[in-house]
Chain A
């Protein structure tokens, strides 16, 4: 990939990454904070996500009712995401309007008010967001599997947080969290699009350079001990459909094993991409699709892992056909896992996984917003070089590497098996 970027750290510790792209008159600006659900303790789970919501409630300079209109009026889009390791805010605007986004982000890095009435109103919105998720069987199952997978590490809970904490957290809890983590030295600013680097850097220095650095926030260090035995759990709920989720540990993004496991995942469950905007491709020739869907045990078969700071999860998910059992699905999954553990995959299969990744990069590069995302994303768990060398590292994977990581990570002793069992919940309807 052609990747000429500028990276600079301002005096207050703000890391700035800039990439000029002159294909469309657009600029995408992203501010990333090193805070996510992994920085939360029981009693305050979901606080990072709630703070993210509060960041849309305005400042003295950009009151809430001005804020959203200002971006939209100029034809921009904006949003934010909270994840395990990070929180990010972005605006994609017509190139000549980007200054508004820069001013807004500089302002809300320090000047958000957290008005108590706004906090109260947002509490019910977030509870409603959680209730909407609870409508989904896969949310309930995923939450149970995640909690069973992490007893010590704060990856234990969902980003949305536990309902009890959403009811009990206070305005001051939220404000303190904001003040602790929203500092320039805990942030990365990434801008991609139709600008001149020198001018853009100057403007960022002007707007963000005066924001005082804060104490470096300490991140929770509670490593999860190595799993020493498999766990099984069931979740019951209304419906007619049985879901199965099997979660193994997956190494951190900076672990060299991350890349052979990514290739292994491509072979087992289909190509995965680093695109947030740009989508993926089908997985109908993946080994699991053939073994589970083609053999008429399940109606789908997927898996996924994430790039994270600490080891997280590699989760297989499937919906069983009504006449089949989750045990049959598990047996078929196990047979495929044993196959990659016992037999070397071919070099052609590895080459195929790399070509798929290349194509997905091409699709992702069509979107300036996605390019802005890429620029800052890897900084949250490694650095931009991680992203630049991603394809090369995949290309360097050998069949023996794939076999080794399959043996090392996909052990029955290191997994949680979760089953969602439907109970009859039919209700009378006209």
Chain B
């Protein structure tokens, strides 16, 4: 049988090099498939957005593949699609992500797309306007989507006054307000090699991959690159806050209910993660799925989620329910939460979820994309190159008391945020 550790990346098979201009390159070779994945992130996320021009970071990232000094839009995609490759950029809250894949022989093409997109985008009027039209249609669709609107209202309640309360894709009036000059200035001031991370995983020798990255990006400099904005912490709500967003003609309502959660690097993250798994992930969506879907038949989906990153996280429950059953579902979920913070989890539940976390690791790391994501995770949070090999010990170290403590710390039904969207 194939040995377990050979499937996990570690210090002995990850190559990590920091280039002179500050770009960190991570590589892992895998000749099992003839393909290669290139992914990573750099500065330029939506935290830089102002309220008046919300969506600027995302808009800027979208422009990077619309034409550069070397290739126009059609030439870019002709080069990629002709060889069955894909590549793109997208802005997230803290960074701009990029990613693509190709057959291994076409890695130089992916690197060209990365380098040319970052260093020589042209922001042609024609493409800016075309993108703007697409954004506006996207926002019109968002306004009709019960899931999207429930999430937006939830963020508004939970993160009131914090940048996390704002949608990354903006509002129609802010998208309308963005000019070509704004895009050019945002790119010039926010993008740069400092803090950039590139990972290459696939059928390529690691040293060769590092050399290719260095050749394409090693001489990139931007002395004007802005420093990342500070991020404030958040306090829990003072009281239970509930808001409904009405959308006509819908058969189903979406519900989001929850609290602030830990950051990824908080010491209680792993306990919260396992607790969340027991609450609303494990099996057919944990205790929440069992109560709301399996026993009460109230929803097609009901789950809990822990969203933990650099800033204050969120710990929430989501469900899609018939509008007539909305209050019933909310009551049922709150009852489950009260039970969760009152009695905690059983030894059996903890053991089940620990074995699940450890057992599913090979599956999450089987593809090049999975490994590339793992390498970026290691780098983003400074977890150490052997993180995935040490992971089973980290999971096993969590106790029932740890979970009870973290649950009581974050889950306070008297301060719950509840957002619903539907008819």
Query: Taking beta carbons and an 8 Å cutoff, which residues of A are in contact with B?
Result: 22-26, 56, 64-65, 68-69, 71-77, 92-97, 120-132, 134-135, 137, 194, 237-241, 270-271, 278, 280-285, 290, 293-294, 296, 299-300, 319, 321-322, 352, 355-360, 362-363, 365-369, 425-430
Contacts of B3 in A (CB 8 A): 25
Instruction: Indicate whether B205 reaches chain A with its CB closer than 8 angstroms.
Output: no
Is the beta-carbon distance between A359 and B83 smaller than 8 angstroms?
A: yes
Identify B7's interface contact among A25, A75, A127, A427, CB under 8 A.
A25
| A417-B102 Cα distance, complex, nearest whole Å | 36
Given contacts A355-B84, A366-B368, 17 further A-B contacts (CB under 8 A): A23-B366, A24-B2, A25-B2, A68-B284, A69-B283, A126-B300, A128-B298, A132-B251, A238-B250, A271-B84, A284-B77, A356-B84, A357-B84, A360-B84, A362-B33, A363-B101, A430-B243
Inter-subunit contact B283/A24 (CB<8 Å): no
Contact at A239–B367, with CB atoms within 8 Å? no
A237's partner among B85, B246, B249 (CB-CB below 8 A) is B249
Chain B residues, CB < 8 A from A322: 136-137, 140
Instruction: State in angstroms the CA–CA spacing of A306 and B92 once bound together.
Output: 34
Known: A25-B4, A428-B246. A76 touches B359 (CB 8 A): yes
One digit per residue, 1 when the CB lies within 8 angstroms of any chain A CB and 0 when it does not, for chain B 298-323 equals 11110000000000000000001110
Question: A25-B2, A73-B355, A321-B133 given as contacts; is B32 within 8 A of A125 (CB)?
Answer: no
Give min CB distance, B372 to chain A, whole Å: 11
Task: Point out the residue from A120, A278, A429 that lies within 8 Å of B246, measured CB to CB.
Answer: A429
Interface size on B, residues (CB 8 A): 76
CB pair A64 B298 closer than 8 Å:
no
In the bound complex, CA of A12 to CA of B299 (Å): 39
CB distance from A288 to the nearest CB of B (A): 13
Q: With an 8 A cutoff between CB atoms, is B247 at the interface?
A: yes
CB pair B352–A429 under 8 Å, yes or no, is no
Tell me the complex Cα distance, A271–B146, Å: 31
Cβ-neighbour of A426 out of B248, B250, B296, B359 (below 8 A): B248
Closest to B5 in A: A25
In the complex, the answer to whether B78 meets A285 with C-beta atoms within 8 Å is: yes
CB nearest to A69 among chain B residues: B283
In the assembled complex, the Cα of A227 lies from the Cα of B7 at a distance in Å of: 53
* Cα–Cα, bound, A126→B252 (Å): 12
**Cβ A121 vs Cβ B130 within 8 A:** no
Chain B residues with Cβ under 8 A from A127's Cβ?
322
> With a CB–CB cut-off of 8 A, which chain A residues contact B145?
135
- The answer to whether the Cβ of B141 comes within 8 Å of any Cβ in the partner chain is yes
B187 close to A (CB within 8 Å): no
In angstroms, how far is the closest chain B Cβ from the Cβ of A414? 29
A285 near B77 (CB under 8 angstroms)?
yes
Whether B330 is near chain A, meaning CB under 8 Å from some CB there, is no
Are A429 and B245 in contact, with the CB atoms below 8 A? Answer: yes
B144 touches A239 (CB 8 A): yes
Q: Known contacts being A121-B297, A240-B140, is A26 close to B81, with CB within 8 Å? A: no
Complex-state Cα separation, A120 to B103, whole angstroms? 50
Q: What's the Cα separation between A64 and B247 when bound, in Å?
A: 36
What residues of chain A lie closer than 8 Å to B103, measured between beta carbons? 358-359, 362
Q: Is the CB of A26 within 8 A of B366?
A: yes
Among B82, B137, B295, the residue within 8 A (CB) of A355 is: B82
Distance of B254 from chain A, by nearest CB (Å): 9
Q: Which residue of B34, B297, B362 is within 8 Å of A24 (Cβ)?
A: B362
CA distance A74 to B32 in the complex (A): 25
Contact (Cβ within 8 A) B352 A73: yes
Is residue B225 contacting chain A, with contact meaning CB distance below 8 A? no
Q: Per a CB cutoff under 8 Å, which of A94, A120, A369, A430 touches B359?
A: A94
Q: Is B359 within 8 A of A299, CB to CB?
A: no
Chain B: minimal CB distance from A80 (Å): 12
Point out the residues of chain A lying under 8 angstroms from B2, CB to CB.
22-25, 95, 194
B81 to chain A: which residues have CB within 8 Å?
Answer: 270-271, 281-285, 352, 356
Bound Cα distance from A92 to B357, whole angstroms: 14
Closest 6 CB pairs of A and B: A75-B359, A359-B84, A68-B283, A425-B248, A238-B249, A121-B297
A296: B residues at CB distance < 8 A: 130, 133
B175 to nearest A CB, angstroms? 14
A-B pairs with beta carbons under 8 Å apart, 14 shown: A68-B284, A77-B360, A121-B294, A122-B297, A124-B297, A124-B298, A124-B322, A237-B249, A281-B81, A284-B81, A300-B134, A322-B140, A363-B101, A366-B33
Cβ of B418 < 8 Å from any Cβ of A? no
Rounded to whole angstroms, the CA-CA distance of A10 and B250 in the bound complex is 50
Contact B32 A23 (CB under 8 A): yes
B80 interfacial by beta-carbon distance below 8 Å: yes
Note all chain A residues with C-beta closer than 8 A to B73.
Answer: 284
Complex Cα distance, B80 from A271, in Å, reads 12
Q: Which residue of A lies closest to B422 (CB)?
A: A135
Task: Give, as a whole number of angstroms, the nearest-CB distance from B274 to chain A.
Answer: 13
Q: Is the CB of B297 within 8 A of A240?
A: no
Task: Mark each residue of chain B from 26 to 39: 1 if its CB lies under 8 Å from any CB of chain A, else 0.
Answer: 00000011110000
Residues of A contacting B360 in the complex (Cβ-Cβ under 8 angstroms): 75-77
**Residues on A with beta carbons closer than 8 Å to the beta carbon of B143:** 240
In the complex, which residues of chain B have a beta carbon less than 8 angstroms from the beta carbon of A25? 1-4, 7, 362
In the complex, what residues of B have CB within 8 A of residue A355's CB?
A: 82-84
Bound together, the chains give a CA A362 to CA B367 distance in angstroms of: 11
Q: What 0/1 pattern do residues 79 to 111 of B give for CB contact below 8 A with A?
A: 011111110100000000000011100000000
B400 → chain A, closest Cβ, in Å? Answer: 17
B74 lies within 8 A of chain A by Cβ: yes
Residues of chain B within 8 A (CB-CB) of A428 are: 246
**Contact call A75/B355, Cβ cutoff below 8 A:** yes
State in angstroms the CA–CA spacing of A239 and B247 once bound together. 9
Q: Are B352 and A367 in contact (CB under 8 A)?
A: no
Contacting pair B362 A94 (CB below 8 A): yes
Known A75-B361, A76-B360, A240-B143; contact A366-B248, beta-carbon cutoff 8 A: no
B32 CB to nearest chain A CB (Å) = 4
Query: B352, A281: Cβ atoms under 8 Å?
Result: no
Interface string of B98-142 (1 = CB under 8 A from A): 000111000000000000000000000000001001101110110
**Do B322 and A241 touch (CB < 8 A)?**
no
Give min CB distance, A283 to chain B, whole Å.
7
Which residue of A has the minimal Cβ distance to B103?
A359
B194 within 8 A of A: no
Interface 0/1 of B266-302, CB less than 8 Å to A: 0000000000000000111000001001111111110
Q: Which of A56, A270, A359, A426 has the most CB of B within 10 A?
A: A359
**CB-based nearest B residue for A122:** B297
User: A97 near B33 (CB under 8 angstroms)?
Assistant: no
Does residue B62 face the partner (Cβ distance < 8 Å to A)?
no
> Is there contact, CB below 8 Å, between B356 and A299?
no
- Measured between C-beta atoms, what is the minimum distance from A137 to chain B in Å? 8
The answer to whether B356 and A135 have CB atoms under 8 Å apart is no
Chain B, residues 352-383, CB within 8 Å of chain A (1/0): the string is 10011111111101111100000000000000
Contact A359 B133 (CB under 8 A): no
- Which of B323-373 touch A at CB < 8 Å? 352, 355-363, 365-369
Q: Smallest CB-CB separation from A193: which chain B residue?
A: B2
- Mask: chain B, 208-248; 1 = CB below 8 Å from A; 0 = not: 00000000000000000000000000000000000101111
